[in-house]
């Protein structure tokens, strides 16, 4: 969907009767047909059926996210890779293994939806650049769904922002010029948020170059996760 079409849909939101995506599904704005406020379950159904940028996605839409209203920890990553797209399980890859190691949690805890919500910056696999590397998360996801999802997670105490896209989305102007500076300034966002590098193997060199990350940030992450969960 191009920018113009997206704006048209957003502008048309007053016409929405709750059965389409032609609205910004803000908390309290989008209502179901019977006029009741949409529940998280109903919203997730609509998100999972989203086809907003179908024509731009090489493998087609498959939004990958998990959330229940009782979740206390929110993990925000970039966008699914091909393995996650295939399985439909977020962080089901070596980056996920590294993140669990950073957090010091087992898979059972990590995938316990009653405690952990996982909503990446982009919900579908976005494709790859011709020269290699995944494309950035689709902006449509945040424009269409993020506020509404976040508004239905009232118990989140701690949000992990993995990578620059997650940080831009949640920290906005309060983020620093570079990912390194933002992560280095983690105390400014803590204990509500913690910016992290993406736990991809591509960042192993970054981790080596910035030894303060393992020394200061990971112990704070593990303590906070233990307390919150």
Q: What does the alpha-carbon distance between residue 144 and residue 43 come to, in Å, rounded to a whole number?
A: 11
Q: First vs last Cα of the chain: how many Å apart?
A: 39
- For residues 153 and 71, the answer to whether their CB atoms sit within 8 Å is yes
Out of 23, 40, 52, 71, name the contact with ligand SF4 by CB under 6 A. Answer: 52
What DSSP assignment string belongs to 63-125? Answer: ---B--TT--EEEE-S---HHHHHH--TT-SHHHHHHHHHHT--HHHHT-TTTEEE--SSSS-
Q: Does 149 bind ligand SF4 (CB under 6 A)?
A: no
Which residue stretch of 10-18, 96-104, 135-143, 197-205 sits at the interface with ligand SF4 (rule: CB under 6 A)? 135-143
Out of 67, 116, 117, 141, name the contact with ligand SF4 by CB under 6 A. Answer: 141
Q: Does 80 bind ligand SF4 (CB under 6 A)?
A: no
Q: Does 61 bind ligand SF4 (CB under 6 A)?
A: yes
User: How does strand 158-162 pair with strand 193-196?
Assistant: parallel
Nearest to ligand SF4 of 4, 205 (CB atom): 4
Q: Does 63 bind ligand SF4 (CB under 6 A)?
A: yes
Q: What does the alpha-carbon distance between residue 108 and residue 191 come to, in Å, rounded to a whole number?
A: 24
Nearest to ligand SF4 of 42, 104 (CB atom): 42
Nearest to ligand SF4 of 124, 196 (CB atom): 124
Name the residues that contact ligand SF4, by CB under 6 A.
50-54, 61, 63, 122-124, 138, 140-141, 144
């Amino acid at each position: 969907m191009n920018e113009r079409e997206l704006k048209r849909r957003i502008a048309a939101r007053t016409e929405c009767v709750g059965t389409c995506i032609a609205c910004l599904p803000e908390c309290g704005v989008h209502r179901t047909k019977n006029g009741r406020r949409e529940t998280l379950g109903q919203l997730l159904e609509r998100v999972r059926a989203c086809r907003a940028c179908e024509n731009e996605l090489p493998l087609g839409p498959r939004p990958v996210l998990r959330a229940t209203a009782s979740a206390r920890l929110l993990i925000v990553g970039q966008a699914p890779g091909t393995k996650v797209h295939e399985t439909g399980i977020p962080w089901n890859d070596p980056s996920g293994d590294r993140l669990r190691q950073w957090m010091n949690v087992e898979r059972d805890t990590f995938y316990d939806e009653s405690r952990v919500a996982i909503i990446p910056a982009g919900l579908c696999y976005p494709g790859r650049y011709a020269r290699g590397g995944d494309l950035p998360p689709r902006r449509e996801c945040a424009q269409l769904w993020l506020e509404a999802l976040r508004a239905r997670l009232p118990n989140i105490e701690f949000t992990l922002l993995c990578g620059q896209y997650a940080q831009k989305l949640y920290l906005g102007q309060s983020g620093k010029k570079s990912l390194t500076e933002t992560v280095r300034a983690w105390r400014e966002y803590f204990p509500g948020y913690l910016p992290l590098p993406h736990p991809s193997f591509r960042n192993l060199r970054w981790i080596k170059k910035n030894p303060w990350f393992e020394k200061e940030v990971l112990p704070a992450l593990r303590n906070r996760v233990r307390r919150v969960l």
